[in-house]
Amino acid sequence: MFFQSFYTFTVLAALLVTCHALCRCPDNSGLLKILGIAGKDNLKEQQQLSVLPCSLDNKMHNVFGNVEHRLSRLEGVLALNGKIKEVGEKLFASNGKEVNFASALESCEKAGGTLATPKNEEENEAVLGFVKQYNRYAYLGIKESENIGQFKSINDTTLNYTNWRRQEPNGKGTEKCVEMYTDGTWNDKKCSLNRLTICEF
Residues in contact with ligand MMA by CB under 6 A are 168, 170-171, 175, 187-189
Do the bridges between strand 138-144 and strand 177-180 make them parallel or antiparallel, or are there none, so unpaired?
antiparallel
Q: Which has the closest alpha carbon to 119: 94, 92, 93, 144? A: 92
Residue 184: contacted member of Ca ion, ligand MMA, none (CB under 5 to 8 Å, by partner type): none
Contacts by residues 157-165 (CB-CB < 8 Å, ≥ 24 positions apart): 160/119, 161/118, 161/119, 161/120, 161/121, 161/124, 162/186, 163/118, 163/121, 163/124
- Of residues 169-188, which lie at the interface with Ca ion (CB under 5 A)? 170-171, 175, 187-188
In this complex, which beta carbon is closest to ligand MMA, that of residue 61 or of residue 189?
189
For the CB of residue 163, give the shortest distance to ligand MMA in the complex, in Å.
14
Distance from CA of residue 3 to its chain's centroid?
42
Residue 144: contacted member of Ca ion, ligand MMA, none (CB under 5 to 8 Å, by partner type): none
Residue 48: contacted member of ligand MMA, Ca ion, none (CB under 5 to 8 Å, by partner type): none
In this complex, which beta carbon is closest to ligand MMA, that of residue 94 or of residue 187?
187
Where on the chain is the footprint of Ca ion (CB under 5 A)?
170-171, 175, 187-188
